[in-house]
Structure 1
Amino acid sequence: MRIRNKKLLLFVPAIMAFTLSTETYAQTKPADVPYLPPNAVQSVTISGEYIAVPFADIIGWRYKAVDGKMYRRQYNYSRQQWIGEWELC
């Protein structure tokens, strides 16, 4: 019985690794698409075309230095527009 359990313990992970393997491919981004973080969109394939489905607005900070002082302002990457005003950080 012990030998059978050992063989089973070796066999099951091999089968799982074979059946659960996924294929991944690199996809190039067109030059006219703005940068978005990888977790911002979900890619959906419809008849061979990739369509990006946004989950929510992606908002991040933009920084600039003026006269040795650092300023920041929020930017909505999904809508490509500024949020609020520049503030000293």
Structure 2
Amino acid sequence: MIFFACTKHDESDPKNYNGIEVTTLGDPNIVVATFNSYDPLYDYQNFISWTESIGDDNVGFCDSLKAFAKSYKNVSEHDSALMLSMVYGDHQDCEDQ
């Protein structure tokens, strides 16, 4: 089974964060995991650990994970950089797309 993860947030306000939601690919109504704590960086860390436990190739990342991590720079530049590195690993060119 393939999963798909998106960040739930208001695109115009990174402080309006509602967690990371993982659904099955092809049926967004089936939510298999949620990561929603008080701290987005903590959620990203837990999400990445979860993807590693089920196999990185089994999880697709929605553009909203990158978009939120980039917009979070307004709140914390350090945490934003960490989130981007978790989602994209060494592919720093993803930051500029």
Confirm or deny a common fold (TM above 0.5).
no
Q: TM-score, normalised by structure 2?
A: 0.25
Structure having greater relative contact order (Cα 8 Å, sep ≥ 6): 2
